[in-house]
Amino acid sequence: MKLAADEQEMLDGKRGKARQKAMDLLLRYGEALGAERFVDTSNVCGTVGASTPFLREYGQAHGGMDAVFSEFNLDSAEVVEIPQVAVRSAHLQQGIDPEHAERQGIPLEVVRLHRKGEAYTAGLGVQMLNTCAPYTVGNVPARGEHCAWMESSAVIYINSVLGARTNAEGRESAGCAMLTGKIPYWGYHLDDNRLGTHHVELDIEVETTADWGLLGYYIGEVVQDRVPVISGVHQAPDLARLKHFGAAAASSGGVEMYHLVGITPEAPTRAAAFGRKQPVLEIRYGKAERRLAYERANVTGKSRDVDFVMLGCPHYTLEQIGDVCRLLEGKRVHENSELWIFTPRQTRQLADAKGYTRIIEAAGAHLMSDTCSALGRVMPKGTRVAAADSAKQSHYLPAIMGVECWFGTTADCVDAAVTGRWSGGLA
């Protein structure tokens, strides 16, 4: 790779040992990818520190958090002193919600170590957003902005909806980008790779948030990690719909970029979305495909007695929390079930101020932040059957936690929490 003067300086160790190791790792990474150079980034979202028990234990055994960063962000067995981050950096979701640790079955000792890890990371200058949806709480990259983000549901959102540019980075490359402000210039940083590869024509109106989740789930499975261009959307979906669509497409496949013709910024027309490329496949999405996606999303649902309902994947917006409050008002969660709702910690504060948290708690449900059931592996003890309004969560919960999981609308899910029974179905 061709290095700029500041990159060579970092590689030569003139800006300290940690940045030297970061540059060295990024160089190896970029060369493996075939990148010819780096691009500057001033917007990194990643994970640092002790977000899982294993990392916390590693830190304890090897002398602290610099050892964790060295090993797991810089790929260095040698422990180096970690300096302040060089560019705007934010932390994604973590493994626990320290405010609800007891309910999540997390021992106090783990909470103590977790808080220590958080203080360390914040001390490096990382914004502790602790969410998979940073774009809902102030980190909204501009069109064309080069970013280095982890988290598939966030990557697809900022590439497609905002027109920012990122690949799905890993813990190491994101950590190194935090220290250097550099990331290999390849993949979705390049114009050509952002052009459409598959064309999807909608034969039915896709309206509700659940419908957008199903569409994403279907498309992801068909196109895998390519770039779908979707025609026939007559009404621009809102943030929640786009969030669920992208998260689903990124979980059933590996979609990191899509275009909605006439809606997303790089697709004013179908021709613009494809540029010089021709679609490799024409796909139609109608009633039969919607049903197939619904059946796939519900493939593990067997018993209708629901122990646990998870809402907030990706983390809910304030409006979505308000919707749940309206569905819950005057009702109570069934004694054999639990309802946990996940949101960014900033949004939880807004929900507190608006009175939503009180309504949720009064119904016997709980508003949590910082983590989620699939990622943090946190569920009520003894859960066998879960339900979610997210195709992504219903995809991952059975795989990660070994439970059955139903997928349906938010109303289906709230009903399941209140009655303890799954009565959802495809309308």
Chain residues that interact with ligand F3S, rule: CB under 6 A: 93, 132, 153, 247, 313-315, 342, 372, 374-375, 392-393, 396
CB 114 within 8 A of CB 53: no
| Closer of 10 and 341 to ligand F3S (Cβ) | 341
State the Cα angle at 185 between 181 and 191, rounded to 5°.
Answer: 125
CB of residue 45 to ligand F3S, shortest distance in Å: 12
Cα separation, 35 vs 33, in Å, equals 6
Q: What's the closest the beta carbon of residue 201 comes to ligand F3S, in angstroms?
A: 28
The rounded distance, in Å, linking the Cα atoms of 284 and 98 is 45
Q: Which is nearer to ligand F3S, 195 or 313 (CB)?
A: 313
Inter-residue contact 55 to 72 (CB < 8 Å): yes
- The tokens describing 287, both together, are 């009633």
Please report where in the chains the tokens 């950096």 appear, as a residue.
Answer: 89
Are 223 and 197 spatial neighbours (Cβ–Cβ below 8 Å)? yes
How far apart are alpha carbons 136 and 370 in whole angstroms? 14
Is the Cβ of residue 15 or residue 315 nearer to ligand F3S in the bound state? 315
Measured in whole angstroms, how far is the alpha carbon of residue 145 from the centre of its chain? 19
Going from the C-alpha of 332 to that of each of 9, 288, 365, 389, the distances in angstroms are 62, 36, 8, 19
In sequence order, the β-bridge partners of residue 231 are 201
C-alpha pair distances (Å), 318 with each of 41, 51, 59, 350, 366: 30, 25, 36, 7, 15
Q: How far is the CB of 393 from ligand F3S (least distance, A)?
A: 6
Nearer to ligand F3S, 106 or 247 (CB): 247
CB of 153 to ligand F3S, least distance (A): 4
Query: Closer CB to ligand F3S, residue 146 or residue 392?
Result: 392
Closest approach of Cβ 152 to ligand F3S, in Å?
Answer: 8
Nearer to ligand F3S, 229 or 405 (CB): 405
CB of residue 392 to ligand F3S, shortest distance in Å: 5
Q: Which residue has the tokens 């590996």?
A: 254
Q: Identify the CA nearest to 116 among candidates 65, 82, 79.
A: 65
Q: Is 421 helix (H, G, I), strand (E, B) or coil?
A: strand
Nearer to ligand F3S (CB atom), residue 132 or residue 195? 132
